[in-house]
Structure 1
Amino acid sequence: MLPDVIFVGPTKCGTTWIDAYLRTRPEVVLPEKTKETFFFDKVFSRGIEWYRAQFPDRDGIRVEVAPSLFHKPEARAALLQTAPKTKVVIMLRDPWDRAVSHYFHYRKAGEARLPLAEMAQRFPDVVEASLFHKHAQAWEEAFPGQVSYLSYAQLRTDPDGLCAALCEVMGLDYVAPPGSLSQRQVNAAAVPRNALAARMGRRSAEWLRRAGAHQVVNVLRQTRLKKLLFAGGQVEGERQAVRAQVSTLGMIAPDHAQMLDFLAARGEVRP
């Protein structure tokens, strides 16, 4: 079977938390060996039978939390071709804060400290995945009547309320998140002790995933290796400096204004 619901992101909007919550629900069937299969954006050539095999063979609501899909037209086209009846869920977040968090995603992966605009030039998804109106509109056009929205801000301030909204979107009975999830810090920034080792670790994990070795990556993530490669000092001072540069990301402001108008017209939750 194909997914009934897919959370398309974008990244840095609480999807890891959502995946962790859904894995506490026995009636939800998620990929067994990994959070994301990357099927629709990176390994679509493997075919639908490969994708089906990533899910355990049992009854339930089939779901994938796949935040890398949000800003990729080819992923949207692949999902539409394969599973046109799938319900799509988009997580909304302040787009500038999301871009700053994405900046630190690359810093944590071993990239050097750079001006925000330079990091965005090197990694275009820093800005592209914050263009909520542009991409949400494309999802709406591809999946009319099948797109829902949830708020990252609500996850930060009211995880129980976010869970209630999540369950309503999915047609699940409400079950509160475990205490361990309610207390989990969302998107804490850090930089690695060794940037070169972190870059090598990120590229190795990407290669293993593309080779279909998701389980190897998952096993390694449970060891001390992940902490040794990616853990490091907190960066609150750097975060403040980067946040002060968000005005250099000129494409975000007009898109954000359009998104607020769209949400107001729809009566949807604001980021």
Structure 2
Amino acid sequence: MTRKVFFVGVGAQRAGTSWMYNCLNKHPEVFMPQKEVHFFDSGYEKGTDWYSNLFETQKAVKAVGEITPDYMSKEVFLERLKRFAPEVKIIVILRHPIERAFSAFNLYKLHGKVKSNTFEEALIKDPHILTQSLYSEQLEWINARFKPEQVLVSFYDDIEIEPLNFMKKVFVFLGIDESFVPPNLTVKRNVSALPEVQNFLKIPVIQSYLLNSFLKKPFIKFKKSKAGKKLKTVILTKSEQSSKIPSLPEKYLYKVAMDIERVSELTGRDLSKWIKKLKVD
């Protein structure tokens, strides 16, 4: 019996991991119990037997795995993964550092995890929002523990330009049928609607009310329907279009620019476009 490939998507957060999960989950040769298991970060006390049992399946698959985009944010999480599965296949997606951080800020604000009114204020109160976008150290942690052939570093930019080609590279990396075309390639990726837009429409309040009322079941049914999904796409698209990343002080921009240069060295990828977006001299 051929041993299944075990893979883990370790990050980055807000970089297309939900979209990749949905594409992989449609592949007939892949089994994923759920997207974010959060074992190596917040659920480690459950034990490795609990984690291993998640991947038991009767399906005839070639690859099993999960995607938790917080795993590469701390060295200890990667060390735990290394001890559990030394031969694991690691998938990384990197997004422009400021865009990723701003997306995270909007998400945290929407869910009440940050109370700051501005992006810059949030970075002062919670530096982790930006440090998660400083990928070079995280890549070095990965490189120190896993062989080059075990790691696939990819970029959010490629999802936007050539989503099918992006997934084909993932399929080849995992040793599964690369001719498979995920039906959800063009489905809107997981973006956070601006809190201001959603709050203006009172979406969080309305949703909370419906989920706690006798209308819960029909509301959930509507969300899963074509009409519900179309409405969500419209709201997210309008919100994304109205989103504009505010300018940041140069102390942040230079720090990010230096990190981008190091990431370029580590990956062999020309990231000059990322630096140009920063508008630093």
- The bucket for the TM-score relative to the shorter chain is 0.7 to 0.9
Structure 1 residues 175 and 84, CA, compared in 2 at 3 Å: closer, same or farther?
A: same
Structure 1 residues 224 and 71, CA, compared in 2 at 3 Å: closer, same or farther?
A: farther
Which residues in structure 2 correspond to 1:65-214 (within 5 Å)? 65-110=67-112, 111-112=114-115, 114-145=117-148, 146-191=150-195, 192-193=198-199
In the alignment, the residues of structure 2 paired with residue 88 and residue 16 of structure 1 have an alpha-carbon distance, to the nearest angstrom, of 16
* CA-CA distance at 1:260 after TM superposition: 1.2
Offset from partner CA, 1:125-145 (integer Å, 9 cap, x none): 311221111100110101132
- Whether the aligned pair in 1 keeps the contact of 2:12 and 2:70 (CA below 8 Å) is yes
Stretch moving more, 145-154 or 1-10: 1-10
Amino acid in structure 2 at the alignment position of 1:128: T
Which one has the largest radius of gyration? 2
Aligned residues: 243
Structure 1 residues 246 and 165, CA, compared in 2 at 3 Å: closer, same or farther?
A: farther
Amino acid in structure 2 at the alignment position of 1:127: L
Offset from partner CA, 1:133-160 (integer Å, 9 cap, x none): 1100110101132221112111011111
- Whether the aligned pair in 2 keeps the contact of 1:12 and 1:102 (CA below 8 Å) is yes
Structure 1 residues 253 and 75, CA, compared in 2 at 3 Å: closer, same or farther?
A: same
Asked whether 1:48 is paired with 2:53, we answer no
Stretch moving more, 187-196 or 137-146: 187-196
Offset from partner CA, 1:52-92 (integer Å, 9 cap, x none): 22234234311111111111112111111111111111112
- Structure 2 gaps, min length 5: 209-216, 275-281
Q: Give the alignment's Cα RMSD to 1 decimal.
A: 3.3
Amino acid in structure 1 at the alignment position of 2:72: F
Structure 1 residues 247 and 172, CA, compared in 2 at 3 Å: closer, same or farther?
A: farther
* CA-CA distance at 1:222 after TM superposition: 5.5
TM-score (structure 1 length as normaliser): 0.76
Paired residue for 1:249?
A: 252
Q: What SS does structure 2 have at the residue aligned with 1:181? A: coil
**Identity across aligned pairs (percent)?**
21
Structure 1 consecutive aligned stretches of length 4 or more whose deviation exceeds 4 Å: 194-198, 221-227, 230-233, 268-271
Offset from partner CA, 1:154-213 (integer Å, 9 cap, x none): 101111111111112212221354444324245253324369869x9xxxxxxxxxxxxx
Q: What SS does structure 2 have at the residue aligned with 1:64? A: strand
Structure 1 residues 253 and 225, CA, compared in 2 at 3 Å: closer, same or farther?
A: same
Paired residue for 1:234?
A: 239
In the alignment, the residues of structure 2 paired with residue 3 and residue 75 of structure 1 have an alpha-carbon distance, to the nearest angstrom, of 20
2:30 counterpart (9, 28, 31): 28
In the alignment, the residues of structure 2 paired with residue 163 and residue 140 of structure 1 have an alpha-carbon distance, to the nearest angstrom, of 23
- Structure 1 gaps, min length 5: 201-218
- Whether the aligned pair in 2 keeps the contact of 1:9 and 1:68 (CA below 8 Å) is yes
